[in-house]
Structure 1
Amino acid sequence: MILLVDSNSCIEEGYKGFASRQQIVNLEGKSQLEENSTDNHHHHVTHPTSYLDTLLHLFRGNIGSGLLAMGDAFKNGGIIFSPFMTIFLGIICVHSQHLLLDCSEEMYRKTKRAKPPGFADTVALVFEYGPVRLRRLAPAMKLLVNSFLCITQLGFCCVYIVFIANNIKMICDQYEIHIDLSIHMMFVFVPILIICMIRNLKYLTPFSTLANVLMAIGVGAVLYEATQDLPPVDSRVYLASWSQLPLYFGTAIYAFEGIGLVLPLKNEMRNPEQFQKPLGVLNVGMVVVASIFVTVGFLGYLKWGDDVAGSLTLNLKPGYVLSMTVQILITLAMLLTYPLQFYVPISITWPALRKKYAQKSSVIKELGFRSVLVLVTFVLAESIPQLGLFISLVGAVSSTALALVFPPVIQLVSTYQDKNGVPLLMAFKNAFIILLGIFIFITGTYESVASIARAF
């Protein structure tokens, strides 16, 4: 059972500080906002970011292990179907992000809070100020959102352990050092446990900066390798079988799961109104991100076909200096990014636990709790060592709810309360997005679990 804080979304506070120090994680938020801003006055931030700063943070927050899994996603979708569906999913995810931003701004104006509400608080406030019969659901909705955020982030952490261990195993195999993958995970567990003992985000700044550089170099090298000696397009499956499509959707939604990031990034900007404009940070940034996803997925599947791995780094030619360098760079990037992803569930769960159980010796108890949580991710990673299936499962279980279900739901609730009804077009549009999310959740979870069972 996950215990969650009752106060204003710790996750956004942690993320916002992270953004202002140029340390974005693969998803959801960061810092301390100080004043109010509604119509003609802006809230103040300690270290405001520019348009370009925020754009770079958005890239870092959306480009991670999900990007390197897009080749596997395209294998499960088909080389013709996947590019168009990825663009379509990208449009829906960005639209949902706009819905969340709009509802957050609306709640900020209504409540006149000291700072704009984060993801969980926005959902809770929409229900609290919504129709009378829905108001009692507000605490439960906040708990639900925070739970999904924790599940998503811990899922990312599990994926990182499997990702790192797979790459280390491949490097060792090149030197005829053949060790079981589970043993490699045990070795990975030690440095991850040590680095996760860092309790303050500001001390993670150098790790984040280095991870950004390593990831950029590594992805560039993977793309270079993927463009060499490409086979014809008609040598690949155009549309995969129906049983594979849910795995595609799960992985694609996992890759696009950056919705928890948008509110903190906007709130940290010097000019927050630039975030949502037609040529603002969100639209421009996500067009670039979606283009990179399609390019990497298309080239990865075209190059390696049915042999494409859950991470494209695992398809690099063994024995080559370039291949080994790329694997080392991206492995280090993921290792350094783990504590940033790990910060989110800690920031949500620990304050409530500290208040209840750790009035004394809180630092020692927090380090103990961190150790237990790292151990949980390690055990889960050991249980499901199939990287591609793990990514699809995380995407289907939690990412769909955050990206495709909550935003349209809160827009419907807010609009119904304000206008005493919902326009027909909005109702159909939001119902479609919600049903798509539920479809991906059910089919993706079932197929991922079934595939994992078959793998064993």
Structure 2
Amino acid sequence: MSTNSSSEIDVAHVQQHLVMDDMSSHESSAVEIPVPYHLPGAAMTHDIYTHANSLVKASLPRSRSLSDLAPPQLENDNPTAEFSNLDKPGGMRRYHVAQQQRFANQKDPSSFQPETAFEELFRPDSICSERSRQDYTFLYPDTQAQPVTRHFLDYLAMTSVMNQFAGEDLSDSEGDSHTDEETTSLLPNKHTSKVKKGKEKANITKTLFLLFKAFIGSGILFLPKAFLNGGLLFSIITMWVMGGVSLYCFLLLLDCKKYLAGSYGDIGGVLYGPWMRSIVLFSIAISQMGFMCGGTIFIVQNVIEAIRALSHDTIHLSSGAVFIFLAIILMPLVLIRNIAKLSPTALLSDVLIVAGLIVLLAYDFIEIFESGTPTVGPNINWWFNSANYSVFIGTAVYSFEGIGLIIPIRDSMEKPEKFPAVLTFVMVLVASTLCAVGTLGYVAFGEDSKTVALLNLPAGILPNSIQIGYAIAVLLSNALTLFPTIRIIEQALFGERTGKHSLYIKWQKNTLRAFIVILGTLIAYIGANDLDKFISLIGSVCCCPLSLIFPPLFHLALQDTKGWKRSVDMVLIAFGCGVMMFTFYNTSKQWVSQ
């Protein structure tokens, strides 16, 4: 008789005296028997079941894989299963052993070999370095307190991706409501597993809407006056060229992500050193500050004009007073640590922006076709405006600034490999929308086009309500816009120090946030007289490096960038630097000469 046959007989004899469930009793003797910890005396009979299962393994041919013989991990399917046996004899010890086994199965962080030099160079709170931390959440896979969107509109609030703006970990630990206190349960709550789930990934539709929202903001309302500065044909061609170049640069950044993990700044830090990471973070901070300043000027002009029209030209607000009032309103919003609490304001902002754009386009059509035959505005330059075209170029760059959200939106997608195709489609849609708004607004009002397109609307309850509503929308979104700037500066000044348990540090951070709001408001007040030129300067100084220079510069440093790709990268770098210096010089010259 062979060894396997004798082992099978031994297993059969032993199994006659063991407690087996119905499924196991109908299977062959080559199936392991789970230890019935729920029965009395399990601590005494545990070794018998272990011996029987060892006989099962010994009875199998060596060619058969043992990977399918592991006892079922009931705790993974039902997190409360192992806790129900804690009151049985030896239950606490078995739970402790099982817990230690899970830790042993986890990769030891000290033996982790990074795939890239990045994980050896940069701070531990960078996104890609999270793998090197000891992760305890795997113990309770169904009870991880990760953010999950409740519905599609909640997803469109974008608060989750703003926490990882440009791939940076900008989340504030002071806003974490889960604190370890004496009343905190040592075991997971069995009722929470039905509510808390893993972080939801975005499908193609959600990604499309989120990308479109990232590129469409208050900047779209500056385009009719921008088309006046550039001339109609030149403006349309330039918008498409700038959109195509921006798209290619976005794809270059995504190509860098294939080789280097981490944030936008981390990629630059790996390729060029820590100084480049600092430059990227500085560019992100000042660009978001610039967007906040432009939005604040937009709000002031709309509110002043709407109040004047609604009061029948009897109330004339001071711009300085409105700036101060906006700063006072914005300060409490930027003091909110948990950015998810801004979701309702972000959703309201989205609704008001969409409503404003619809009304604006409707009035443009009415202005053009009201008489039955197309009627255009006065003195339209159909081709090229040689006097102010440089101002338009800066505004065009400003209009396509959304690179800070490319990485987090891509990382939140279910199928990241499809993101380039989705991004390409969205960029075509965005360019078409921008050209449509700019063309219709300029053709409808001609040389009378105002810097803010909503100011072209006639006086009335609906148009003035839209002006105020859009101003409220931009004000609410300013808190989100300023969030990356605040967190980058806080991380640079305070590092890992948190005000969660220190009122002194917390109020230092509060003071810093208030100072940033005041500084941004002062800059906006200075640039309020020439908003179109101010927006052009923001586009040239703040947006050109992030959108047109850094992506090809980083791609050029990759080892796989050879041949024609290197030539294209160098051309793009020269193009971005040329656009930045040209628009900055000419716009500044025009501003000073006035």
Q: How does the TM-score come out when normalised to structure 2?
A: 0.65
Counterpart check, 1:345 vs 2:485: yes
CA–CA separation in structure 2 for the residues paired with 1:246 and 1:9: 38
Counterpart check, 1:311 vs 2:452: yes
Shift of 1:405: 0.5
CA 1:356/1:453 → structure 2, altered by over 3 Å: closer, same or farther?
Answer: farther
Q: Please tell me the residue identity of whatever aligns with 1:23.
A: A
CA deviation profile, 1:126-177 (whole Å, cap 9, x unmatched) = x1xxxxxxxxx41111111111100100001111111111111001221121
Q: Is the 8 A contact 1:75 1:240 kept in 2?
A: no
Equivalent position of 2:358 in the other structure: 220
Q: Please tell me the residue identity of whatever aligns with 1:122.
A: I
Percent of aligned positions that are identical: 28
Q: Is the 8 A contact 1:254 1:399 kept in 2?
A: yes
CA 1:9/1:244 → structure 2, altered by over 3 Å: closer, same or farther?
Answer: farther
Shift of 1:7: 5.4
Equivalent position of 1:284 in the other structure: 425
Shift of 1:75: 1.1
Ranked by relative contact order (alpha carbons within 8 Å, sequence separation 6 or more), the top structure is 1
Q: How does 1:261-340 map to 2 (within 5 A)?
A: 261-276=405-420, 280-318=421-459, 320-340=460-480
CA–CA separation in structure 2 for the residues paired with 1:31 and 1:202: 17
Equivalent position of 2:263 in the other structure: 118
Equivalent position of 2:337 in the other structure: 199
Equivalent position of 1:88 in the other structure: 241
Shift of 1:444: 1.3
Q: Which of 417, 429, 435 is the aligned partner of 2:574? A: 435
Counterpart check, 1:163 vs 2:298: yes
Compare CA radii of gyration and give the structure with the larger one: 2
Q: Please tell me the residue identity of whatever aligns with 2:249.
A: S
Equivalent position of 2:308 in the other structure: 173
Shift of 1:382: 1.1
CA–CA separation in structure 1 for the residues paired with 2:154 and 2:410: 11
Equivalent position of 1:379 in the other structure: 522
Q: Please tell me the residue identity of whatever aligns with 1:245.
A: Y
Shift of 1:314: 1.5
Shift of 1:30: 6.7
CA 1:30/1:323 → structure 2, altered by over 3 Å: closer, same or farther?
Answer: farther
CA deviation profile, 1:357-413 (whole Å, cap 9, x unmatched) = 877422222111100100110110111112222211100101011111111111111
CA–CA separation in structure 2 for the residues paired with 1:287 and 1:355: 40
CA–CA separation in structure 1 for the residues paired with 2:362 and 2:388: 28
Equivalent position of 1:150 in the other structure: 285
CA 1:346/1:17 → structure 2, altered by over 3 Å: closer, same or farther?
Answer: farther
CA–CA separation in structure 1 for the residues paired with 2:571 and 2:168: 35
In structure 1, list runs of 5 or more residues that go unmatched.
34-43, 109-116, 128-136
CA 1:235/1:259 → structure 2, altered by over 3 Å: closer, same or farther?
Answer: same
Q: Is the 8 A contact 1:17 1:32 kept in 2?
A: no
Q: Is the 8 A contact 2:269 2:277 kept in 1?
A: yes
Q: Name the stretch that deviates more: 207-216 or 18-27.
A: 18-27
CA–CA separation in structure 1 for the residues paired with 2:536 and 2:295: 14
Q: Is the 8 A contact 1:6 1:352 kept in 2?
A: no
Q: How does 1:247-262 map to 2 (within 5 A)?
A: 247-262=391-406
CA 1:30/1:397 → structure 2, altered by over 3 Å: closer, same or farther?
Answer: same
CA deviation profile, 1:159-217 (whole Å, cap 9, x unmatched) = 11111111110012211211232222122221112222212111011111111111011
Aligned with 2:259: secondary structure? helix
Q: Is the 8 A contact 1:65 1:311 kept in 2?
A: no
Q: Name the stretch that deviates more: 45-54 or 264-273.
A: 45-54
Q: Is the 8 A contact 1:76 1:244 kept in 2?
A: yes
Aligned with 1:242: secondary structure? coil
Q: Which of 507, 517, 525 is the aligned partner of 1:364? A: 507
Q: Which of 306, 328, 331 is the aligned partner of 1:190? A: 328
Aligned with 1:96: secondary structure? helix
Counterpart check, 1:426 vs 2:565: yes
Q: Name the stretch that deviates more: 432-441 or 82-91.
A: 432-441
CA–CA separation in structure 2 for the residues paired with 1:248 and 1:184: 28
CA 1:187/1:81 → structure 2, altered by over 3 Å: closer, same or farther?
Answer: same
CA 1:66/1:346 → structure 2, altered by over 3 Å: closer, same or farther?
Answer: same
Q: Name the stretch that deviates more: 238-247 or 184-193.
A: 238-247
Equivalent position of 1:103 in the other structure: 256
CA–CA separation in structure 2 for the residues paired with 1:234 and 1:309: 13
CA 1:248/1:310 → structure 2, altered by over 3 Å: closer, same or farther?
Answer: same
Q: Please tell me the residue identity of whatever aligns with 1:24.
A: M
Q: Is the 8 A contact 1:68 1:313 kept in 2?
A: yes
CA 1:442/1:281 → structure 2, altered by over 3 Å: closer, same or farther?
Answer: same
Q: Which of 200, 216, 237 is the aligned partner of 1:63? A: 216
Q: How does the TM-score come out when normalised to structure 1?
A: 0.84
Q: Is the 8 A contact 1:316 1:323 kept in 2?
A: yes
CA 1:450/1:153 → structure 2, altered by over 3 Å: closer, same or farther?
Answer: same
Which protein has the bigger helix share?
Answer: 1
CA 1:86/1:7 → structure 2, altered by over 3 Å: closer, same or farther?
Answer: farther
CA deviation profile, 1:304-354 (whole Å, cap 9, x unmatched) = 222212221121112x12211210221111011000011111121212322
Shift of 1:46: 1.7
Q: Is the 8 A contact 1:20 1:31 kept in 2?
A: no
Q: Is the 8 A contact 2:126 2:168 kept in 1?
A: no
Equivalent position of 2:89 in the other structure: none
Count residues with an aligned counterpart: 410
CA deviation profile, 1:407-437 (whole Å, cap 9, x unmatched) = 11111111xx236xx31x3233223322221
CA 1:31/1:107 → structure 2, altered by over 3 Å: closer, same or farther?
Answer: closer
CA–CA separation in structure 2 for the residues paired with 1:433 and 1:158: 28
Counterpart check, 1:402 vs 2:546: yes
